Amino acid sequence: MLCNTLKVNMLLVPVWASMLLGLLLGFLPVVGMEPMGEGRSVPEHAPNSDPVPSSPGSNCSQLTLKLEFSSKVVEHEYIVGFTGYFSAKARRLYISSALRNTKDGALEWHIVPRENPASDFPSDFELVHIRQASPSSLLTLEDHPYIKRVTPQRKVFRTLKYIPSSEPAAPCNATRGTQSWQSSRPFRRSSLSLGSGFWHATGRHSSRRLLRAIPRQVAQILQADVLWQMGHTGSGVKVAVFDTGLSEKHPHFKNVKERTNWTNEKTLDDGLGHGTFVAGVIASMRECQGFAPDSELHIFRVFTNNQVSYTSWFLDAFNYAILKKIDVLNLSIGGPDFMDHPFVDKVWELTANRVIMVSAIGNDGPLYGTLNNPADQMDVIGVGGIDFEDNIARFSSRGMTTWELPGGYGRVKPDIVTYGSGVRGSGMKEGCRSLSGTSVASPVVAGAVTLLASTVLNRELVNPASMKQALIASARRLPGVNMFEQGHGKLDLIRAYQILNSYRPQASLSPSYIDLTECPYMWPYCSQPIYYGGMPTIVNVTILNGMGVTGRIIDKPIWQPYLPQNGDHIDVAVSYSPVLWPWAGYLAVSISVAKKAASWEGIAQGHVMVTVASPAENDSEVGGELTSTVKLPIKVKIVPTPPRSKRVLWDQYHNLRYPPGYFPRDNLRMKNDPLDWNGDHIHTNFRDMYQHLRSMGYFVEVLGAPITCFDASQYGTLLMVDSEEEYFPEEITKLRRDIDNGLSLIIFSDWYNTSVMRKVKFYDENTRQWWMPDTGGANVPALNDLISVWGMAFSDGLYEGDFTLADHDMYYASGCSIARFPEDGIVIAKNLKDQGLEVLKQETAVVEGVPILGLYQTPSDGGGRIALYGDSNCIDDSHRQKDCFWLLDALLQYTSYSMTPPSLSHSHSRVAPPAGTERPLPQRLEGNHLYRYSKVLEAHLGDPKPRPLPACPHLSWAKPQPVNETAPSNLWKHQKLLSVDLDKVALPNVRAYRPQVRPLSPGESGAWDIPGGNAWLTVTTVRIMPGHYNQEVGQTIPVFAFLGAMVVLSFFVVQLTKAKSKPKRRKPRIKRPTYLQQQQTATGKNPGV
């Protein structure tokens, strides 16, 4: 009986132990947390808004908050920028001296007082009120030697509207406190803080996806708790949040060092909620935890509760951030204007003062070429968004940068991506909420950067370049995603920590290698092999200089081909920044195929060596300079030169875009997106068209120089789409000669109507003038000059409508018609609506027989063919409704192979070619300012005249220095920043499973969310809290463990004592069966026991 009792007691021990552990954990909420529940997640709404209704039978809001921006110039107010920082007295003296020299002696002016924390310090600008300022007085002001520029003061409005959501209702438990945001693209730089748009994940939609999309704690998903347990919580790092402010007694924050107000409202509190959310993602200490709760939080309130801000507020706040020696700055504004010089200059100044700026890349995805400034700058960490399943968020803007077009090629952006969908952050007063957008991903990286900076013992090593180097070198690459979507990959906090703590100052490259064979990551480079006679492939590499804010390249980069890998089959030319400042520069690599490889096919490899030097901050360094040599591996695939009929040349040189000029959208229906700002490049808003042509076997090259600079005998078709630029007379002459010799031409035009152009004018804030477009959707008068020799011309008609052509549904979006065409050509006409009449008079009319498509074979022997179409929207990704790639295929069959499509030549819509006598041809808008932005025109006393034809670009090919060694097979894994092997850099011995909890302070609520179902992380069952509370928590855990062990041991001893004290009873003897006794007697054996 004793044996059985002991067995039962031994079996009960684990049960009692489990019950005891459960009891202890059950007590923990009493002393450390409240029970979890959805009721603690408090949704926030815009102030002064009506109560948000819910769908029937649901307690969850199903509305979307739409955000709209507008701006206007403040009358009579100007921002006067100086060449340096001066006292208020000196600034006033310089302005007074400059205005004293104006011809208008009665000019009234005064300096507008700016009552903010920066007013006590020297500044580099002044806000001046000038009544009835004439252009001459402003020019006189700019002529002063200490005045850099004069720009109007700008006022920005932000409007929130609740609209019914088109998304299906989501479960309450999955989206409590969640809001989705929409925004339209503004004319100018705008706030991205609330304009994140709907989030739509790429890929398939499944129930598993919905379950895993429940918002979780982003800091722990990125394993910030590992660094917390090591004692790193952001202490000593100053982080600035430029947003809508923060309440003074918000329970989530313990180290708000300073709150400053840069608006004209007498409050520091957040009346909108987004500034609180961003600050919470960075530094919240409880509930929805931030990354760096012990960091010094500096709150810059730059938007009013009415969502208004001014340029001068930002400039003052930026200057104050420099004075306060801010370490990390999160900026949630952006826009397409990378030529907004005062703003860009100030960002450069910030980073030059060691401020690590983190900025959202924009919410204009999935279109390519939609990067926002300042996130697209080399010295800024540009952040894109992903969801919790590592899919690129649909709203996240894509690269490439468009600064370098048309002559060069864009840089890789974003720099890095991280979670930006359904991320939890602090509510406006208490509790948590969830938001989506790249403005959410930006503070995630800003918080991670703040935490990482606190882990480095020698803070002098932390600067904008070294931090970016660590982030991009440690990023986890996402499979199946190209570099213009993900940059260098997904943020990896722990790997970045490993790199930063083994860091030594040096230079690095972004991207760190060029592999034209690696798809899809190296798209678009990998999408087309190179060949002899093709346009050079240009790769724009960013040089990051972690050694200092300024640097230079010593001597010249060296090209070293690998002879065993046929490196001598390619030629390389390199151009680079003469000065690396601030912290970065460019390295443009042009790759071409050597003549001896004209008919060769294979892989060629080599590398470019670059040595960067920076002044040493410590004069004891040898020579006073730090140097770093970096290697750029190059790997390309070479094929024999394709036949002429397969080669298409895209004219990039004659495409213009915003900025700097006002070039309107090609589709006038898109009123919320009026600017043509995506670059009009085959790898930006014409990406789908490029992919289609490649799938059809065509080789597409880009012409970034005048028409006089290419050998037309090498190409079958010249493709001109949406051209806004003028043409040199020499270009017109050469094109006529080329077409006579067999080159074909395809033109996709767009609308051009001077009356409509005057109708879509807008007030420009820099010149204080009404701006009319300098062209229409395309520069039709310039195109007519180009094709007039063949008796062709486009009209100034403006048409739209749906129609069917060759059994394909088509949509004509703000296109023009063909006004004149040769008699022996093929012309297709359709019935369309007169959109010009609708724009000008708000009347609707249908025009029958509008000529929209023309095909023509030139009469010369062996001459080429010409195809005209009046609308480019059907091949443009920006606002394409129905694609016409089939039509492009048919036109290329005609121009490249002289095969007239029967569906067009025998179409019922074929009409007689127009003679051009019905109406006059369109003329250029009188008084237009195209010459200001044109590469062809220049200002003249009368009408603008063509500039002298520029010389064609000639690359200086680097002299090869061959090396007889084997090239690395995997360029990506071969590249390691600082030669640090992450596998050999181990983390300190951290007890990752030790639960740590913090007792609540009196009167504090503590609805902590415990994330579950995460297969990627080793998380504890109790919330791990950062900061100085870890030490207290660590002391309570042994006490609980000791008490639990004593209770279990006492129970066991009591049971054992009871068992021993009971009297023993003999077992009753069991009589054996008769048949067993008989069997034993017969065998003479005893049965085994």
Q: Active-site residue 466, yes or no? A: no
Torsion angle defined by CA atoms of residues 327, 328, 334 and 339, in that order, rounded to the nearest 10 degrees: 30
Residue 704 CB: number of other CB atoms within 10 A?
Answer: 20
Q: Active-site residue 439, yes or no? A: yes
Please list, in sequence order, all residues whose beta carbon lies within 8 angstroms of the beta carbon of residue 135, skipping any fewer than 6 positions away. none
Choosing from 41, 137, 165, 243, which is the catalytic residue? Answer: 243
Report phi then psi at 494, rounded to 5: -70, -40
Spatial contact of 879 and 665, defined as CB atoms under 8 Å apart? yes
Q: Tokens 């100018």 label which residue? A: 188
Spatial contact of 967 and 564, defined as CB atoms under 8 Å apart? yes
Q: What gap in Å lies between CA 553 and CA 830, rounded to an integer? A: 60
Q: Which residues pair with 855 in a beta bridge?
A: 826, 867
Q: Give residue 560's Cα distance to chain centre.
A: 34
Q: What gap in Å lies between CA 543 and CA 555, rounded to an integer? A: 16
Q: Tokens 């700055």 label which residue? A: 329
Q: What gap in Å lies between CA 665 and CA 677, rounded to an integer? A: 8
Q: Terminus-to-terminus CA distance in the chain, angstroms?
A: 19
Spatial contact of 405 and 678, defined as CB atoms under 8 Å apart? no
Spatial contact of 404 and 371, defined as CB atoms under 8 Å apart? no
Q: Among residues 287, 234, 458, 219, which one has the least CA distance to residue 1027?
A: 234
Residue 248 DSSP SS3: coil
Q: What gap in Å lies between CA 962 and CA 563, rounded to an integer? A: 6
Burial of 168 per CB tally in 10 Å (0-12, 13-18, 19+): exposed
Instruction: Report CA-CA distances (Å) from 450 to 220, 350, 737.
Output: 15, 17, 62
Q: Tokens 């000008």 label which residue? A: 840
Helices 780-787/729-740 angle, 10° precision: 50
Structure tokens given for 81:
């920028």
Report phi then psi at 296, rounded to 5: -85, 110
Q: What gap in Å lies between CA 454 and CA 467, rounded to an integer? A: 12
Q: Which residues pair with 611 in a beta bridge?
A: 629
Spatial contact of 483 and 522, defined as CB atoms under 8 Å apart? yes
Q: Tokens 């500039």 label which residue? A: 947
Choosing from 274, 488, 569, 681, which is the catalytic residue? Answer: 274
Q: Active-site residue 243, yes or no? A: yes
Q: What gap in Å lies between CA 63 and CA 65, rounded to an integer? A: 7
Instruction: Report CA-CA distances (Å) from 866 to 350, 405, 720, 910, 915.
Output: 53, 27, 11, 17, 17
Q: What gap in Å lies between CA 232 and CA 455, rounded to an integer? A: 6
Spatial contact of 528 and 642, defined as CB atoms under 8 Å apart? no
Type of residue at 622: V
Which string of DSSP letters, residue by residue, matches 694-708?
HHTT-EEEEE-S-GG
Choosing from 439, 466, 474, 723, which is the catalytic residue? Answer: 439
User: What is the C-alpha radius of gyration for the chain, rounded to an integer number of angstroms?
Assistant: 35
Q: What gap in Å lies between CA 363 and CA 197, rounded to an integer? A: 7
- Can the peptide bond before residue 659 be classed as cis, meaning omega within 30 degrees of 0? yes
Which string of DSSP letters, residue by residue, matches 585-652?
EEEEEEEEE-GGGTT--EEEEEEEEEEEEEE-SSTTSGGGEEEEEEEEEEEEEE-PPPPGGGEEEEE-
Residue 590 CB: number of other CB atoms within 10 A?
Answer: 21
Structure tokens given for 419:
């979670």
Active site residues: 243, 274, 439
